[in-house]
């Protein structure tokens, strides 16, 4: 089936505006992750969902950032009052099982990201 789909692929917004980024995971994947990747940097963990709940929100940089997931499927990452330092590529990934398998962890499958530019 289809892979992880993210939209929009590119977003340019003015400082102070709110933005919504969407992630459509692979069908049947219960775990969903958001990461942020700044130019030349590694992947910074933002939030993890298991089903519709978020056991770990520890990576959200500030209270301007929030995320939700509905129906155990689509997730939306919202950034309020955007700042220039929010400019980055926002990546979403999904995984089949929250607890991995008997052999160990389950790899994450990534979308191609949303490139956010705040002017």
| 72 touching another protein, by CB under 8 A | no
| 25 touching another protein, by CB under 8 A | no
Min CB(78)–another protein separation in Å:
20
Among residues 26, 32, 79, 91, the one that binds another protein under rule CB under 8 A: 91
Min CB(113)–another protein separation in Å:
5
43 vs 74, which CB is nearer to another protein? 43
- CA distances to 15, 25, 91, 98, 100 from 94, rounded to whole Å, are 30, 6, 10, 10, 12
* DSSP code of residue 85: G
């Amino acid at each position: 089936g289809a892979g992880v789909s993210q939209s929009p692929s590119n977003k340019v917004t003015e400082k102070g505006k709110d933005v919504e980024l969407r992630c459509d995971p692979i069908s049947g994947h219960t775990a969903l992750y958001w990461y942020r990747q700044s130019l030349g940097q590694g992947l910074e963990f933002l939030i993890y969902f298991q089903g519709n709940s978020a056991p770990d929100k520890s990576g959200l940089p500030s209270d301007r950032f929030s995320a939700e997931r509905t129906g155990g499927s689509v997730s939306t990452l919202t950034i309020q009052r955007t700042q220039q330092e929010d400019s980055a590529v926002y990546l979403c990934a999904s995984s089949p099982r929250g607890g991995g398998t008997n052999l160990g962890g389950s790899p994450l499958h990534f979308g191609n990201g949303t490139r956010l530019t705040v002017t």
